[in-house]
């Protein structure tokens, strides 16, 4: 069945249209070797619109920061140790602020430009201004956008450059040493904040991926259960139809042969056909009733070991001499064992009726052992090869083999050395 594709959310500046492996340990919810496979796909127009909105927001922020940086210079007194503003100064301010418009697309390049412009600005002793806050935005973006190890390397390098350059300024201009600590905290906090934002986002993504995966697995289990139920109903219908229709066909043919000479025997054969038809209809109603949803639908119990005597009587009416023997200590068995044991015997005797020929006899042995139920069905007829050929389609002998395999048992079927056909099955009594 086609499976619904899920789209997981991502920030406007993130990736899309790819498959990503998220280690659950990194997300803080699992083991190191575990991973959540997250498949997501955005509509192309939706993703393009999201990128445009993110770029527009970042552009507006960058322009606002540039304006604030310029405003912070208004009214500043001229100092002898401060270089006057010139076009180069404005270019450095623009580099520290306007480049932030591309911070999500090119976080490393933007950080290099911003930090480089800051170092050059301080080196030429231009007036201090609010453009320095561009470093905070750049380092936050590094922590939020890049993988943790890479973010630590890039961010740590940028912080080291800024702190070292600040320390040089402290020594040259005889500033308080605490100023270095203040700058270190100023540039480190945004990086840590970005790393935490990324961790929370990854955690939310991993949790949603778990929920999606659990729902997909639940749907798969449901589909598998439906498939098995369909196969079971198909096997049950085959067994019912094959058995009863075989009886009806043989008895109807017998009635036709003796209708003129022995009308009483013909009447009995026709009555057997009628009974077989009623049984087939009843079984089919029971099986098809499983597909109905009415709560008041009456479902009769499935046949089991207790129904074997009635099955043997039906076969006798159909013209097959059946001997039923039950050995060992009889005890209750799971319904799945009883139903499948009944169907194995039913299919085997139906094949005997169809292929063994006139005057054939069949023997059914049910043996209770300590942990298994043994089923042995033999006939002395002459139709073994025909039985194998007719059941090669997978509905007869192959269907019986499938039944037993699902219960963890063993199955064999084939001609006997002295003639006739034998079916043997062993079902674990603990099978469900």
| CATH number of domain containing 358 | 3.30.565.10
Q: Which residue has the higher pLDDT, 316 or 159?
A: 159
Pairwise pLDDT comparison (13 vs 206), residue with the higher score: 206
At 145, the pLDDT band (50, 70, 90 cuts) reads very high
User: Is residue 51 in some structural domain?
Assistant: no
Residues 330 and 212 in one domain: no
* 424 within some domain: yes
More confident residue, 376 or 19: 376
Give the model's confidence band at 183: pLDDT under 50 very low, under 70 low, under 90 confident, else very high: very high
Residue 76 phi/psi, 5-degree rounding, is -75, 130
Is residue 79 included in any domain, yes or no?
yes
418 within a domain of the structure (yes/no): yes
Report the domain count for the chain: 2
Q: Phi and psi for 421 in degrees, rounded to 5?
A: -140, 145
**Residue 125 contacts residue 81 (beta carbons within 8 Å):** yes
Instruction: Check whether residue 210 and residue 311 sit in a common domain.
Output: no
Q: pLDDT by residue (tens digit) across 5-15?
A: 444 444 434 43
| Same domain, residue pair 317 and 213 | no
Q: Which of 186, 202, 217 is the last residue of a domain?
A: 217
Q: How far apart are CA 65 and CA 133, in angstroms?
A: 8
Give 341 or 38, the one with higher predicted confidence: 341
Q: Is the sign of the CA dihedral 239, 240, 245, 248 positive or negative? A: positive
Confidence band of 24 (pLDDT split at 50, 70, 90): very low
176 with 321, same domain: the answer is: no
Domain membership flag for residue 205: yes
Query: What residue has token string 């909105």?
Result: 53
Say yes or no: 72 and 170 in one domain: yes
Please tell me whether residues 203 and 329 are part of one structural domain: no
Report the C-alpha gap between 23 and 33 in whole angstroms. Answer: 7
Torsion angle of the four alpha carbons 102, 104, 106, 107, in this order, in degrees rounded to the nearest 10:
110
Lowest mean pLDDT among 10-24, 67-81, 101-115, 292-306: 10-24
Return the bridge partners of 372, or none. 428
Q: When comparing pLDDT for 111 and 358, which is higher?
A: 111
On whether the CB atoms of residues 150 and 159 are closer than 8 A, the answer is no
Backbone angles phi, psi at 9, to 5 degrees: -70, 155
Q: What is the mean pLDDT of the chain?
A: 79
Give me 324's structure tokens. Answer: 């039923």
292 falls in which pLDDT band (50, 70, 90)? low
pLDDT for 169 equals: 86
In sequence order, which residues have a C-beta less than 8 Å from that of residue 53 and are 6 or more positions away? 12
Q: Are residues 192 and 81 in the same domain?
A: yes
Residue 16 lies in a domain: no
In the chain, the percentage of residues whose pLDDT exceeds 70 is 77
Predicted pLDDT of residue 13:
40
116 or 299, higher pLDDT:
116
Sole residue written with tokens 């002898």? 80
- The pLDDT value given to residue 264: 80
User: For the residues 406-424, what does the mean pLDDT come to?
Assistant: 88
For residue 341, what are the β-bridge partners? none
pLDDT in tens, 209-259: 888 888 888 888 888 877 876 777 677 666 666 666 777 777 777 777 777
Biggest alpha carbon distance in the chain?
A: 138
Q: 199 lies in which domain range? A: 57-217
Phi-psi region of 89 (alpha: psi -120 to 50; beta: other; left: phi over 0): alpha
Rounded to whole angstroms, the Cα distance separating 292 from 313 reads 32
Q: Which residue has the higher pLDDT, 292 or 222?
A: 222
Of 171, 188, 217, which residue is a domain's last? Answer: 217
Regarding whether 426 and 320 lie in a shared domain, the answer is yes
User: Which of 171, 170, 100, 152 lies closest to 130 in space, CA to CA?
Assistant: 100
> Which tops the pLDDT comparison, 430 or 316?
316
- Edge-first strand listing for the sheet containing 421-428: 321-327, 361-368, 372-379, 421-428, 410-415
- Domain match, 333 and 184 both: no
- What are the contacts of 272-275 at 24+ separation with CB within 8 A? 272/247, 272/317, 272/318, 273/247, 273/248, 275/314, 275/317
Write the CA distances from 45 to 10, 54, 83, 403, integer angstroms.
Answer: 15, 14, 49, 53
Please indicate, yes or no, if residue 268 is contained in any of the structural domains: no
- pLDDT of 75 over the 80 cut: no
What are 92-103's pLDDT values in tens digits?
A: 999 999 999 999
pLDDT of residue 5: 41
Q: Tell whether the model's pLDDT for residue 426 goes beyond 50.
A: yes
Contact 236, 287 (CB under 8 A): yes
Q: 82-86, 91-95, 112-116: lowest mean pLDDT where?
A: 82-86
Instruction: With beta carbons less than 8 A apart as the criterion, state whether 351 and 315 touch.
Output: no
Is residue 248 in some structural domain?
Answer: no
How far is residue 168's CA from residue 418's CA, in Å, rounded to a whole number?
A: 106
| Residue 174 falls in which region: left (phi positive, over 0), alpha (psi -120 to 50) or beta | left
Contact 273, 314 (CB under 8 A): no
pLDDT in the model for residue 151: 95
Mean pLDDT is lowest, of 120-124, 309-313, 385-389, for: 385-389
Q: Average pLDDT for residues 291-307, to the nearest whole number?
A: 64
- Please report the pLDDT score of residue 272 as a whole number: 77
User: Region 320-349: what's the mean pLDDT?
Assistant: 87
pLDDT tier for residue 269 given thresholds of 50, 70 and 90: confident
Instruction: Please report the pLDDT score of residue 47 as a whole number.
Output: 57
| Mean local confidence (pLDDT), 34-49 | 48
When pLDDT is averaged across residues 146-163 and rounded to a whole number, the result is: 95
**DSSP E strands, 18-107:** 19-23, 35-39
Last residue of a domain, one of 217, 244, 264: 217
pLDDT at 80 over 70: no
Q: How far is CA 47 from CA 5, 139, 145, in A?
A: 17, 25, 17
Model confidence at 182, pLDDT cuts 50, 70, 90, reads very high
Q: Out of 148-152, 166-170, 335-339, which region has the weakest mean confidence (pLDDT)? A: 335-339
Can you tell me the distance from the alpha carbon of 242 to that of 310, in angstroms, rounded to the nearest whole number? 17
What is the pLDDT averaged over residues 266-277? 77
List the Cα angle 90/95/98 in 5-degree steps: 100
Model confidence at 54, pLDDT cuts 50, 70, 90, reads confident
* Residue whose tokens read 């790393």: 195
């Amino acid at each position: 069945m086609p499976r619904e594709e899920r789209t997981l959310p991502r920030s406007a500046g993130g990736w899309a249209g790819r498959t990503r492996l998220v280690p659950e340990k990194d997300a803080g919810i699992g083991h190191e070797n575990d991973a959540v496979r997250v498949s997501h796909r955005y509509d192309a127009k939706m993703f393009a619109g999201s990128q445009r909105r993110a770029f527009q927001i970042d552009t507006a922020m960058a322009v606002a920061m540039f304006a604030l940086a310029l405003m912070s210079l208004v009214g500043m007194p001229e100092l002898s140790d401060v270089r006057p503003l010139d076009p180069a100064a404005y270019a450095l301010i623009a580099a520290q602020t306007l480049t932030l418009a591309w911070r999500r697309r090119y976080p490393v390049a933007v950080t290099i430009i911003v930090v480089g412009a800051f170092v050059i600005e301080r080196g030429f002793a231009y007036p201090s201004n609010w453009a320095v806050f561009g470093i905070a935005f750049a380092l936050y973006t590094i922590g939020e956008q890049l993988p943790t190890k890479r973010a630590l390397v890039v961010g740590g390098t940028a912080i080291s450059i800024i702190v070292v350059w600040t320390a040089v300024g402290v020594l040259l201009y005889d500033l308080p040493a605490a100023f270095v600590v203040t700058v270190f905290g100023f540039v480190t906090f945004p990086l840590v904040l970005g790393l935490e934002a990324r961790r929370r986002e990854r955690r939310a993504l991993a949790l949603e991926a778990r929920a999606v995966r659990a729902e997909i697995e639940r749907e798969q289990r449901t589909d598998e259960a439906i498939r098995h139920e369909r196969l079971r109903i198909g096997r049950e219908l085959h067994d019912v139809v094959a058995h009863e229709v075989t009886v009806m066909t043989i008895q109807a043919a017998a009635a036709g042969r003796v209708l003129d000479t022995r009308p009483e025997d013909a009447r009995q054969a026709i009555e057997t056909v009628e009974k077989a038809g009623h049984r087939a209809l009843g079984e089919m109603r029971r099986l098809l009733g499983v597909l109905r949803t009415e709560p008041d639908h009456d479902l009769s119990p499935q046949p089991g070991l207790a129904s074997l005597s009635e099955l043997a009587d039906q076969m006798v009416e159909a013209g097959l001499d059946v001997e039923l023997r039950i050995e060992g200590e009889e005890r209750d068995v799971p319904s799945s064992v009883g139903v499948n044991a009944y169907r194995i015997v039913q299919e085997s005797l139906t094949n005997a009726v169809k292929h063994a020929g006139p005057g054939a006899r069949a023997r059914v042995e049910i043996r209770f052992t300590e942990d298994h139920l043994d089923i042995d069905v033999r006939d002395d007829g002459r139709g073994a090869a025909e039985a194998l050929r007719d059941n090669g389609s997978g509905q007869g002998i192959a269907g019986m083999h499938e039944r037993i395999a699902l219960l963890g048992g063993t199955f064999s079927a084939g001609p006997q050395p002295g003639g006739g056909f034998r079916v043997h099955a062993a079902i674990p009594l603990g099978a469900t």
